[in-house]
């Protein structure tokens, strides 16, 4: 199991220390919110542009924004390994192709209330599928177990069609809910509040792995 630590609730006045404290993460997860697609505003590329100067941990960028296409270049420039957009946005395949044309791995995500079959036509194109196990927009929410049914479907389709995507889940993952995740086909778990609220963040990351 790989762990992507979300820095949504990190102390951005002391970001170098915050990033150093989670250096055992497999990825640093960047929750980019515009206040329109989700009811919250987080941070954008100007705030994140120097991250690769302070860490070698790969960046896993999740764009929870209405018009991701016009911002792809910005998040390529910050050094993203993955850029994930939402299926609910306009012409997601066009945006996925733009991501991949820039040599970056492309991900697709969906809100809890969005049917899983909306993703099916995009699965051959993507490198990652992100299943939200909370409503996107805020940290610290409770894990939605029913969303794991989507994971089962995605894992079965991956095996049936030899798709190459990894499966990631995001929301409410901690040392208790991780037991519902192991062995389900999930490759990466995103965790923010659980890890960042611990004194020993390395131990918290290890508890999920």
- Asked whether residue 159 carries a pLDDT value surpassing 90, the answer given is yes
Q: What is the mean pLDDT of residues 183-197?
A: 96
59-78 pLDDT, tens digit each: 999 999 999 999 999 999 99
Choosing from 74, 101, 170, 200, the catalytic residue is: 170
Task: State the chain's maximal CA–CA distance in angstroms.
Answer: 47
138 pLDDT band (50/70/90 cuts)? low
pLDDT, position 74: 96
Choosing from 31, 73, 74, 175, the catalytic residue is: 31
- Asked whether residue 155 carries a pLDDT value surpassing 80, the answer given is yes
The Cα–Cα gap between 19 and 17 comes to: 6
**Residues whose CB is less than 8 angstroms from the CB of residue 155 and which lie 6 or more positions away in sequence, other chains included:** 167, 184, 185
Domains of the chain: 2-208 (3.20.20.70)
Q: What is the mean pLDDT of residues 21-40?
A: 91
Q: What is the mean pLDDT of residues 20-28?
A: 97
Q: What is the mean pLDDT of residues 171-194?
A: 95
Q: What is the pTM of this model?
A: 0.95
31 is catalytic: yes
Say if residues 102 and 75 touch (Cβ distance below 8 Å): no
Q: What is the mean pLDDT of residues 101-106?
A: 98
34 is catalytic: no
**Average of per-residue pLDDT values in the chain:** 94
């Amino acid at each position: 199991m790989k762990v992507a630590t979300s820095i949504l609730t990190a102390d951005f006045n002391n970001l170098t220390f915050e990033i150093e404290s989670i250096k055992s993460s497999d990825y640093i997860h960047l929750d980019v919110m515009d206040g329109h697609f989700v009811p919250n505003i987080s941070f954008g590329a100007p705030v994140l542009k120097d991250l690769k100067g302070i860490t070698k941990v790969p960046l896993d960028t999740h764009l929870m924004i209405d018009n991701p296409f016009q911002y792809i270049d910005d998040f390529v420039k910050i050094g993203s390994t993955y850029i994930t957009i939402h299926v609910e946005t306009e012409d997601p395949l066009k945006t996925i192709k733009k991501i991949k044309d820039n040599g970056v791995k492309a991900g697709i995500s969906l809100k809890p209330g969005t049917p899983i079959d909306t993703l099916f036509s995009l699965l051959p194109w993507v490198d990652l599928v992100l299943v939200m196990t909370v409503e996107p927009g805020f940290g610290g929410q409770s894990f939605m177990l029913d969303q794991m049914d989507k994971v089962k479907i995605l894992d079965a389709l991956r095996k049936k069609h030899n798709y190459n995507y990894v499966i990631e889940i995001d929301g409410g993952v901690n040392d208790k809910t991780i037991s519902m995740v192991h062995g389900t086909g999930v490759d990466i778990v995103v965790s923010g509040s659980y890890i960042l609220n611990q004194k020993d963040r390395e131990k918290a990351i290890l508890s999920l792995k």
